Amino acid sequence: MRKILISPSILNADFAKLGEQCLALQQSGADWIHCDVMDGVFVPNISFGLPVVEGVYKSVDIPLDVHLMIRDPLPYVEKFVNAGAKIVTFHAESQCDGAKVCREIHRLGATCGVSVKPNTPLEKVKDLLEMADMILIMSVEPGFGGQSYIALSTEKIALARKLFPDKLIQVDGGINAHTAAQAVKAGADVLVVGSALLNAADKKGFIAALKALG
């Protein structure tokens, strides 16, 4: 059996109760907490920044999985690691020297993730993905929570698993009980789950069911 990690996204959380909600997710079995940082330029939405990540870090004892959906992540990597990020993921499509960003994340002792948008072929960014510890397959267009899973993402996950058999494969977007099963079968190790988990009456049972897919 393959170990499946669950990284709940807080994008659609109740920010008035964010610390409580993150702690409840940890107590329900979450492995990481996924923080989507958006700048309103790289994606058409602004979410949150360093103070929120710092607050989440103080609320839980599990790793923070920080997803930088920003135009140029390099100047911010160290700041987010200092704020508590243990995993830092940036986009292959960012306007930056991706190799330099990977080296900076590793220099700071964090796990490096590289994210790929739905329309970006893996082969186009293969050299950069080779430098990462984790590959994040976006199964929706990044920017907003609550979107539906893009069916072609399953094939992309399978290709990522074939090309990079020893790397973590994370999937983010439209993950529920049904799409999670497809993603895991294709080769995903890490499931970013947002609305489906936050709206679940039995969060502990939901997380346990997702982990059992492995």
Catalytic residue among 97, 133, 166, 172: 172
In terms of DSSP H, where are the helices of the chain? Answer: 18-27, 50-59, 77-83, 98-107, 126-131, 153-163, 177-186, 195-198, 203-211
Q: Among residues 86, 73, 64, 75, which one has the least CA distance to residue 38?
A: 73
Sign, CA dihedral 133-24-179-98, equals negative
Determine whether 172 is an active site residue. Answer: yes
Catalytic residue among 36, 97, 133, 202: 36
178 is in an annotated binding site: no
172 is in an annotated binding site: yes
59 is in an annotated binding site: no
47 is in an annotated binding site: no
Q: In what order do the strands lie in the sheet with 134-138?
A: 5-8, 190-193, 168-172, 134-138, 111-116, 85-91, 64-69, 33-38
192 vs 75, 95, 108, CA distance in Å?
A: 25, 24, 24
Q: In a 3-state reduction of DSSP, which class is residue 62?
A: coil
H or E, element range at 189: none
143 is in an annotated binding site: yes
195 is in an annotated binding site: yes
9 is in an annotated binding site: yes
Determine whether 39 is an active site residue. Answer: no
206 is in an annotated binding site: no
Structure tokens at 207: 């997380």
97 is in an annotated binding site: no
The annotation places the binding site for substrate at: 9, 67, 143-146, 172-174, 194-195
The annotation places the binding site at: 9, 34, 36, 67, 143-146, 172-174, 194-195
The annotation places the binding site for a divalent metal cation at: 34, 36, 67, 172
Catalytic residues: 36, 172
